[in-house]
Amino acid sequence: MTTEVIDAVGTWTLGDLEVRRIGFGTMRLPQTGKALIPDAVPRDRRQAVAVLRRAVELGVDHFDTAAFYFSPLLSANELVNSVLAPYRDDLVIATKVGPARDAVGAFATHAMTPEALRGQVEENLRQLGTDHLDVVNLRIVRDDQFAERFGALAEMRRAGLIRHLGLSNVRPDHLETARAIAPVVCVQNPFGFGAFAEQREMLRLCGELGIAFVPFYSLAGTRREAGAVEGEDSPELLAVARAHEATPAQIRLAWTLHQGAHVLAIPGTGDLQHLAENVAAGGIRLTGDELQLLDTADRQAL
């Protein structure tokens, strides 16, 4: 497989940074099974390194990571640093701040003050081995001091520590407040088959504003961390998959990308075969009839 496959899906810009519309999410890279739990089983380091290297070879240039993506033995940021640094000019590394995990992996207090957020930004800078962060997404866990916290990130952007700002897990009012403080280049929100009305509203709003919409759980849909379950796919989705000689997961991903040119997918995996399948999904062109059929399955998944 060459980069022609990933090129087929096109590009979008995060501020002044152009990226292909299929990226890579690193959340599952440090461990196997369910992610972000204290007793996560670490993935074999050689396998994780091989996946990252192969992603670059396949043309992936947008990597989503975070300091709180780690297992007892592996850290996503450290893996990204060891494999991708020194970073090529055409690679975009996006990270997020807000949530925090303690040394054993349990979620602890979130960064609710400007000082705590600065500490998280500096932690990402150290772990990634860089003097600035391409994109920092503020993940919302509570509404407390949202404007103050986003304003603190805007100050760090003006100081040169951050190039562009984004939001994660937000509502339209968060986006409106943030845009009055500083430019927002992307929104990371859950979206997939069976997406709720408010999730669809954010997809639409970002398209109108020219902001990248970066869905997480695009493969799992409403199952979120539990992941998609083999055998539970709808007849409509299975029929389209057979027509394209593709997996149901590839059709879910292709359908997500068809929701708008501003949609950037960041499917994550620690498996080389799944990586190849995810990238190949960018080359799947769904017909109008197939999209209508999948939209029917999408509504039934609600």
Tokens of 66: 């975070």
Q: Give the closest residue to 92 by CA, choosing from 155, 162, 152.
A: 162
Helix (H, G, I), strand (E, B) or coil at 124: helix
158/46 Cα distance (integer angstroms): 38
Query: CA-CA-CA-CA torsion for 109, 95, 248, 269, nearest 10 degrees?
Result: -90
Peptide bond into 38 cis (omega under 30): no
For residues 53 and 45, is the Cβ–Cβ distance under 8 A?
no
Question: How many residues are present in the chain?
Answer: 302
Between vectors from CA 31 to CA 105 and to CA 119, what angle results, nearest 5°?
40
Distance in angstroms between the alpha carbons of the first and the last residue of the chain: 35
- Name the catalytic one among 69, 150, 217, 255: 69
Q: Give the closest residue to 148 by CA, choosing from 124, 191, 118.
A: 118
Residue 170 backbone phi and psi in degrees, to 5:
-120, 170
Q: Give the closest residue to 188 by CA, choosing from 262, 120, 113, 253.
A: 262
Tell me the sheet residues that pair with 122: none
Quick check: is 217 catalytic? no
Q: Which residues belong to the active site?
A: 69
